[in-house]
Structure formats: C-alpha cells, structure tokens
Chains A and B, each alone.
Chain A
Amino acid sequence: MRALEKLLSQTKKKITKSVVSSEAEEINPEKLSRCLSENLNALVKVFGDNCDFVSREFNFGRDGQYKGAIMFFDGLTNLKIINDNVIKPLMYDSRFVRSDDTGALESLEELRDKLVSVGDLKTVESISGAIDACLSGNAVLLVDGFQKALDISAKGWDKRAISEPDTETVVRGPREGFIENLRTNTALVRRKLRSPQLKIRSIKIGDRTNTQVNIIYIDGIVNPELIAEIERRLKNIDTDAILSAGNIEQFIEDSPSSVFQTIRYSEKPDTIVGKMLEGRAAIIIDGTPFVLSLPMLFVENFQSSEDYAVRTSYATTMRILRFIAFFISLFGPALYVALATYHQELIPTSLLITMAASSESLPFPAALETFLMMLSFEILKEAGVRMPRPIGQAISIVGALVMGEAAVSAGLVGAPIVIVIAITAVASFAIPFASDAVSLLKWVLLVLAATMGSFGITLGALAIVIHLASLRSFGTEYLAPFAPFQTSDLKDTLTRVPLWKMRTRPRALKPRDSKRQNFKIPYKPAEANDSGEEDRS
C-alpha cells in the first residue's frame, strides 16, 4: 500500500497540474518492462493486497505461443466486455488464423487493430499509466515481449438512474436531473446542446481521490478569459480529496468569507445549459449530481429554470414575489422587534392595542422572545433535515403544533411573534438559493434592531448592500446589473421579459457573442395568412 501511495502521489501531483488531454503517461519515467512477469510483479506489488483486483494470465496465438495477462478491478468493469471482446478473441479466435499466416505478432498495435473489439482503446507505456487505467475502471492488457500495454475501456459500475432532483422541482419544464456519474452528466448536457461548439475539458484534482473535473462551455459564446481563469484556479487546487461540488466551490470562489455564495449550483441539465447559453461556464465533478455554474450574479438567487417555461406575466410576478420573500425573510423578525420595541407609533392604533393587551402578561421583551422563537425554529429545521424522513414528519408536527400552539397558550410568547416567525420561515423557503445567507444575516439584523431600532436595521441593510456590491464572481460584479447599472441587462432581473425580447446575452458576463437572437414579434395575424405556413391550426 505504501508503494502505491508513493507512486500515486508522485505521479498525480504532476498529472493534476496539467490537463489530462496532454498524455499523462508521457510524463512518467517508470516505463513498462519487456518482460511480462516483471510488469505483473510491479502491478501486483501495488494492487496485490486487494481482493477485488483481478489478474488473469493466459496464452494466445495460433500455437498459444504468446503469454498475456489482463487485469482490472472487479466491480468497476463490465465483465461481459472483457470476456466477449477481449479474452474470447485472443484465446479462441486467434487460433484460427490462415495457414499461410504465421500468426506472428509484430507489435501490440496489431492486437489493437485486429483482435480486441472495443471502442475506446489506448496504449500506455508506463506502470503508472497502467495503474491509472485500472483505478479508473479500465482493463489493462499486458503481453510478454512488448513494452506497452493496452488500456481497454470497459467501465461498468452501478449508478443511480436519472431521476427528478429533489432540490429543484418544477411544474413545467424537463424533469431529468444530473446523477453521480460524470459521463452521464456530460451526456445529459450534450444531448441538450447538439453543437460542435460545446467543449468539455478535463482536469484531475485531488492527490488521493483523483477526481475527474470537467469544465464545460460553449466556445464562441463564453469569454475565453473566463475559461483561462477557471482553469488557473482549478489547477491551483492542491488537496488530497474532492468529494463534492461544494469542495471545489470552496477552493475556487472569490470571497470565501462572505455569507453569499458566488457560485451557483444546479441539479438540472436544462438550467445548466441555459446558464451556458448566457455566457457562463459549468464545472461538472465526478461523484456529485450538483453542477457548478459561474460566474454567478446576485439575481440568480431569484431565478428558477421554470421562469422561462411559464408565461411572462406570471414569471415576472413570481420574480417580484421572490424578492419580497427575500426581504421578509431577512427583515421580518428585525422589523417586528424594532416596531414593538422602539416605534410603536408606526403600528396602527387598533393593532397596537391588541398587541399591548396580549403582551401584558408576557415574561420576556420582544427581542428575547423573537430570539427564542427563531432559535427554536432553526433547531426544528435542522432536525427535520437530518432525521430519517418518517421521524422528520413527527418532528414537524411536534414543532409546529405543540411548540407553537402551546407556547402561546402557556403565555410564554405572544401570538404575533409566532406569526412573524412562521411568515419568515415560509418566505425563506421561497428563495432556496439565498436562504443560507438569509438565515445568518437575520440574526445580525435582529441584534441591530434590538439595540438601535429602525436606524440599526437601515444601517445593517446598507452594510449588506455595500458588501454585495463589493463581491466579485470570476471578474463579474455580483450586483450587476444594478451596480454597475446596466439597462440592457435588467430584462431578466426583477422582471422576466418575453423570451423573444431577450435579444442580447447579459453584458455583465462579457460574452464573446452578445447577440442571442433576432426576432421581432412572435405572431402577426395579418402576415401569417400570406405565408400559408401558419394555417396548420
């Protein structure tokens, strides 16, 4: 095991620093030997302790004069391919060569060209290349007397079926979601974007996990500088493990200390393709269904793939509603505390009387009351997420009915605060992408409101806005198109203009090709008749 680690860490460090497309095996000095048993020994020394490592030696050729060995990891490979397309042709078919043919093997390439019937085949020349091939789920064919080995792609492991993602459900629009398998995910994207301009580049990250990370973008739309920057940051990652999209995110984001995420993630191919068409790049990480898209703008927190599938008027209303939800979930508790503590004159008189009557017997001041209720809600939320689903339901019943109801009737907290907390909670679910940031910031605002009332809230809000304006995501201002102000980009922010009016891609992303389409008005009855084509209805 030590040997493997050493070998791997030596080679991987070099490999991760370069894009894999430049042949990895060229870099390694440890060449394969001409002698099969030496090669076998070297590989067994590395993998010998593993019970799932298979190393099968056999003879082939007309007279069985050649010695070969195939090795792979059971479970990572498709045994059918290995049996039918590699071992059978070699051991069985190779005996039936014509009598005038000596059956002599000039080079390993001859095997590749004539006998092994597998689509994806490479030759490797180093031990580390062979190790790499085995680890990534390929089979390695070694033949005595040759200094090369064949890297036969026979990947076949169990993977989850494509299903509708839980994080982003839609009513209209495609339902398929990414899964944990990298190639499936790239295929999902490519199926939606049948363009030769779609480019997928690969980088390996992680000294131990050797995770494949693919940068995927549309050449001709995306700004080349963005790709260069992403590549630079990815190559700079020097870590031993990448286990999820969140890991990559933390290594490459612009402001790690901010509460706002500056890289958007999605589980849906249509969302990612939409982002790419706007001039963004995506990062697909092997082993996680979350695909990153960047650069991210603040307004993306409020966009959903469904916005583009439903009618404009409805989509716009939903957008505005989400902004209101953001506002409520951020300022709700703070405003309540400020109003109840400092600015009673702003509350309508009749409501004030009701509130005063109900709060007369309450033991805690409004700020503490809100604090306790927010705390218990956050605990409930966390418990509901982490617990197994059947128990989770029980928790929500206990939380919602027992605690909310009982706390009020026991006279521990007032009824208004329960309503405020409930509205805040519901509002935060309407903005799933920003809810993390909101759930932290509302505490800060609560403290400000409790100490300085509306003045504190105002200054807190201003500080948040200034913070947002100072954020950058891969060279793009996070608050674009509001700051810096860009009129043409406003079409997809607070409003969602009709699709045919979105003639340009967002300027903030500095796309190479900013023109998206040229379409005037979708349907003109007067003109439709003389073309004759629209008469189908």
Chain B
Amino acid sequence: MKLENGHISEHSLMFGVYCFMQASMLRTAFIVGVTKNDSWAMAFTGLALALVLVAIYAALLRRYQQKNLFEINELIFGNVLGKVFSALYLFFFLTIAALNARDLGNFAESSVLPGTPLTAFILMFLMVCVYAIRKGIENMMRLATVLSFVAAGALVFNVVLILKNVNIEFLKPMFQLPFKNYVQGTVTVAAIPMGEILAFTMITPMLGKNKKAGKMMALGLIYSVISLSIIMLRDIVTLGPLLGIVRLPSFESIRYISLAGVMTRMESLYAVILISLFLFKTVVLLYASVLGLAQILNFKSYSPLTLICGAFVLFYSLIVTKSAMENEEWGASVAPFFSLSFELMLPVIALATAMIKRMLKKKEAQQ
C-alpha cells in the first residue's frame, strides 16, 4: 500500500533539511541562555551528536528501502506493537508541529502585528499549511531549493550590512563557563532543532530507489549548522550583554542595521523569510503526522485527514503551552530529553530489534 506517490530529487531533500533547520533560528534563545557567548560553538558540537541520530535513521532506512518510519515500525514490531510505536511518534510530531505553530503565533503577535488574537495567526498559518499538503508535499520540497537560497542570501546580506555595528570583544571570555553548560548546550541543540529532522523519514521514500537519504540529510544538516553558527555569532557580536535579555536575538540584531537611512527596518524582510521557513517546517511536521495517522488507520489516501489534522493542531497549539515564557523554560529544562526519547530512544530500540531479528533468522537458517 502506497499512500504517497510524489517523487523528489535528493537535492530537494538536502535543501529541505536546510530550510527545516533554518526555521529554528528563533529558538536559539534556548541555547544562548545556557552557553552565552560561546553558543556559536554549540552548533558544531551539537552537529556531532545529531550526525549520530542521522546515522541511526539512515541505518533504518537502508534496511527497509522505500519505506517510511511508520511502515518500518510495523515491519519490525508487527502490526499491534508497531502501531503503538507509530502512535508515540505521531504524538511527538503533532506536539512539535503544535509547538512550532505556537512559536510562529507568538512571534507574529509580538513582532508583526501586536493586538491581534493569537488564534487568528495560527488559524491562517495552518490553513496555508493544509493547502500545501493538499497540493502535494513534493511541490513544497521542490520549493525548498529556492527558499534555501533566499534564506542564505538574506543571511549573508544581513551579516554584511551589520558588520559596522559589531564588536568582536563580545566573544570574550571564550569557553570559561562550567563544563556542564556546554554539555547542556550540545544536547539541546542536537535534540531540539536538529533531531526534529526525524520527520523527514516520512518523506524519504519519495526519493525512490536511492540509498543517499542519510547522506543528503547529513549534508543538509551540515550546511544549516554553518548558517546557524553564523547567525549565533552575528547575534553575539552585535548584541553582546543584551543577548540574554531579548526574546528573539536574531530579530533584535537585525534591527541594528542602518545604512544611509535607506537600508533600515530589515527585520520586516527577515520576518517574511522567517514566516516562509516556519511554514516549510510546519508543513513537513504536519505532513508526517497526517501520513502517519493515515498509516495507523490503514487509510487508502492521507488527503481526507489533512484538514482535520490541521484543525487538531490549531487547538492543540493553543494548549500545548501556556505562554512564551513557559515554552522557554521548557526548552531549557526537559524539552531535550522529551525530544530525545523519540529521536534517539525509539529509533535505537527499532534498530536493535531489527538487528536481533535478523541475527535470529540467520541462526535459524544455519540450523
């Protein structure tokens, strides 16, 4: 049974991962709060951990070619237990989809259009997400390339324009914090934005007979880590001590840009790109949820479930967290473990089970 029938190229997947990751720029506040002015380095140490995750996903995908995560679950654990595992993943995808939608809502409410109810933002945002999924995720993935170029271009543009406002001294003192802070920073960065690319395991079957899924995910991750560290470096050297105070460091640092009275207010342009990236990320997460739900329920096609899932995420996002403050606190304390239990624990269990099963089979064959 095949629920999706689109086809994407491997480059689309790579740029898709890049876009997906760039949408997490807003969440740098989590890490910045922990590792202060050394945060930019966390992107690289986090990458090392995240590549382990990607290696696990790639191993799973290689074992079960042309199958998505939920199908793999059912193949490894059988129908009933597999569905239980799938349901756990579904909960995870829906939760991060809701958290992202909520993040965007909070962002829009505070920075774009104060005074409008949060629900209205999320509603409209999810409507476009649902439209995108209805039109086919492969189209969204194809747009990823251009979107990546736009996002990367805007980043370079911003960095160049802000050069006159930076103060390299803000980077000092380097690496003077307690060691456990770095551990926390690394785990957080790996779990919260990076590990979420687990959702792409629902899309990789669209690559067709291609073993490069893991490689492309890793490449996308590496490019986005470079961007992420540049963003954090920029924020650190522009904002300095303000870093820990402002809620959206990236947004605040771009506010500093002012060139001859013409190049000002760049943050409004940045907001447009950010909304686009958020849309991309939420579409991927929502698609993973919708396709997963269809898989669990043995539907012939996922499209009838899109709208109702979108409706669910809308209301879920309203209660997933009480406030932006609570969300931040959550990100700095439990969230990495919550995410890792789905991003690391469940796939490891699946992989281990698959390996044991194969060994048992081999033994049987030998006897």
Chain A directly contacts chain B within the complex, with at least one CB pair under 8 Å: yes
A463 touches B11 (CB 8 A): no
Query: Per a CB cutoff under 8 Å, which of B113, B125, B132, B276 touches A453?
Result: B113
A462 to B112, CA, bound (A): 17
User: Which A residues lie within 8 Å of B125 (CB)?
Assistant: 459
Query: Per a CB cutoff under 8 Å, which of A346, A453, A470, A482 touches B136?
Result: A470
B113 touches A469 (CB 8 A): no
Asked if A58 lies at the interface with its beta carbon under 8 angstroms from chain B, I say no
Identify the closest chain B residue to A451 (Cβ).
B120
Looking at chain B's contact residues, is the secondary structure mostly helix, strand, loop, or mixed? helix
Closest approach, in angstroms, between the C-beta of B262 and any C-beta of chain A? Answer: 10
Asked if B358 lies at the interface with its beta carbon under 8 angstroms from chain A, I say no
A463 to B128, CA, bound (A): 6
User: Which B residues lie within 8 Å of A92 (CB)?
Assistant: none
User: Which B residues lie within 8 Å of A469 (CB)?
Assistant: 135, 139-140, 142-143
- Of residues 432 through 482 on chain A, the ones whose CB sits less than 8 Å from some CB of chain B are 452-456, 458-459, 462-463, 465-467, 469-470, 477, 479, 482
Closest approach, in angstroms, between the C-beta of B242 and any C-beta of chain A? Answer: 21
Asked if A485 lies at the interface with its beta carbon under 8 angstroms from chain B, I say yes
B268 touches A452 (CB 8 A): no
B112 touches A455 (CB 8 A): yes
Given known A462-B275, A466-B132, contact A452–B124 (CB-CB < 8 A): yes
A455 touches B135 (CB 8 A): no
Contact with A along B116-146 (1 / 0, CB 8 A): 1000110011001001100110011011011
A312 to B199, CA, bound (A): 45
Identify the closest chain A residue to B124 (Cβ).
A459
A456 to B145, CA, bound (A): 24
A484 touches B9 (CB 8 A): yes
B9 touches A456 (CB 8 A): no
Query: Per a CB cutoff under 8 Å, which of B124, B139, B275 touches A470?
Result: B139
Asked if A53 lies at the interface with its beta carbon under 8 angstroms from chain B, I say no
Closest approach, in angstroms, between the C-beta of A343 and any C-beta of chain B? Answer: 7
Closest approach, in angstroms, between the C-beta of A475 and any C-beta of chain B? Answer: 13
Query: Residue among B128, B143, B265, B279 with the most chain A CB within 10 A?
Result: B143
User: Which A residues lie within 8 Å of B276 (CB)?
Assistant: 458, 462
A453 to B113, CA, bound (A): 7
A342 to B135, CA, bound (A): 31
Asked if A398 lies at the interface with its beta carbon under 8 angstroms from chain B, I say no
Asked if A483 lies at the interface with its beta carbon under 8 angstroms from chain B, I say yes
User: Which A residues lie within 8 Å of B146 (CB)?
Assistant: 482-483, 485
A466 touches B124 (CB 8 A): no
Asked if B12 lies at the interface with its beta carbon under 8 angstroms from chain A, I say yes
Closest approach, in angstroms, between the C-beta of B246 and any C-beta of chain A? Answer: 18
Asked if B272 lies at the interface with its beta carbon under 8 angstroms from chain A, I say yes
Query: Per a CB cutoff under 8 Å, which of A455, A463, A467, A477 touches B142?
Result: A477
Identify the closest chain B residue to A448 (Cβ).
B124
Asked if B108 lies at the interface with its beta carbon under 8 angstroms from chain A, I say yes
Closest approach, in angstroms, between the C-beta of B243 and any C-beta of chain A? Answer: 24
Asked if B332 lies at the interface with its beta carbon under 8 angstroms from chain A, I say no
A455 to B132, CA, bound (A): 17
B113 touches A466 (CB 8 A): no
Identify the closest chain B residue to A342 (Cβ).
B113
B275 touches A458 (CB 8 A): yes
B275 touches A455 (CB 8 A): yes
A346 to B265, CA, bound (A): 7
Given known A462-B275, A463-B128, contact A454–B268 (CB-CB < 8 A): yes
A453 touches B145 (CB 8 A): no
- Of residues 282 through 338 on chain A, the ones whose CB sits less than 8 Å from some CB of chain B are none
A485 to B143, CA, bound (A): 8
Identify the closest chain A residue to B108 (Cβ).
A455
Closest approach, in angstroms, between the C-beta of A241 and any C-beta of chain B? Answer: 34
A477 to B12, CA, bound (A): 15
Asked if B161 lies at the interface with its beta carbon under 8 angstroms from chain A, I say no
B265 touches A483 (CB 8 A): no
User: Which A residues lie within 8 Å of B140 (CB)?
Assistant: 466, 469
Asked if B271 lies at the interface with its beta carbon under 8 angstroms from chain A, I say yes
Query: Per a CB cutoff under 8 Å, which of A453, A458, A466 touches B135?
Result: A466
Contact with B along A162-191 (1 / 0, CB 8 A): 000000000000000000000000000000
A58 to B15, CA, bound (A): 80
Closest approach, in angstroms, between the C-beta of B164 and any C-beta of chain A? Answer: 21
A455 touches B113 (CB 8 A): yes
Query: Residue among A342, A455, A459, A470 with the most chain B CB within 10 A?
Result: A455
B275 touches A483 (CB 8 A): no
Query: Residue among A452, A462, A463 with the most chain B CB within 10 A?
Result: A462
A484 touches B128 (CB 8 A): no
User: Which B residues lie within 8 Å of A462 (CB)?
Assistant: 128, 275-276, 279
A469 to B15, CA, bound (A): 16
B139 touches A458 (CB 8 A): no
Identify the closest chain A residue to B121 (Cβ).
A455
User: Which B residues lie within 8 Å of A453 (CB)?
Assistant: 112-113, 116
Query: Per a CB cutoff under 8 Å, which of A343, A466, A470 touches B268?
Result: A343
Closest approach, in angstroms, between the C-beta of A452 and any C-beta of chain B? Answer: 6
Query: Per a CB cutoff under 8 Å, which of B11, B112, B131, B272 touches A485?
Result: B11
Identify the closest chain A residue to B146 (Cβ).
A482
Identify the closest chain A residue to B148 (Cβ).
A485
Identify the closest chain B residue to A457 (Cβ).
B272
Given known A343-B268, A466-B135, contact A459–B142 (CB-CB < 8 A): no
A469 to B147, CA, bound (A): 12
Chosen A-B contacts, 19 in total, with CB atoms closer than 8 Å, are A343-B268, A455-B121, A455-B124, A456-B124, A459-B124, A465-B143, A466-B131, A466-B139, A466-B143, A467-B131, A467-B135, A469-B142, A479-B143, A482-B146, A484-B9, A484-B145, A485-B11, A485-B15, A485-B145
**A contact set with B: CB distance below 8 Å:** 342-343, 346, 452-456, 458-459, 462-463, 465-467, 469-470, 477, 479, 482-485
With A462-B276, A466-B140, A479-B143 given, can you name 12 additional A-B contacts, CB distance below 8 Å? A346-B268, A458-B272, A458-B275, A458-B276, A459-B125, A459-B275, A463-B128, A466-B139, A466-B143, A469-B135, A469-B139, A470-B136
Leading 6 A-B pairs by shortest Cβ distance: A485-B145, A470-B135, A483-B142, A469-B139, A484-B142, A470-B139
**B contact set with A: CB distance below 8 Å:** 9, 11-12, 15, 108, 112-113, 116, 120-121, 124-125, 128, 131-132, 135-136, 139-140, 142-143, 145-146, 265, 268, 271-272, 275-276, 279
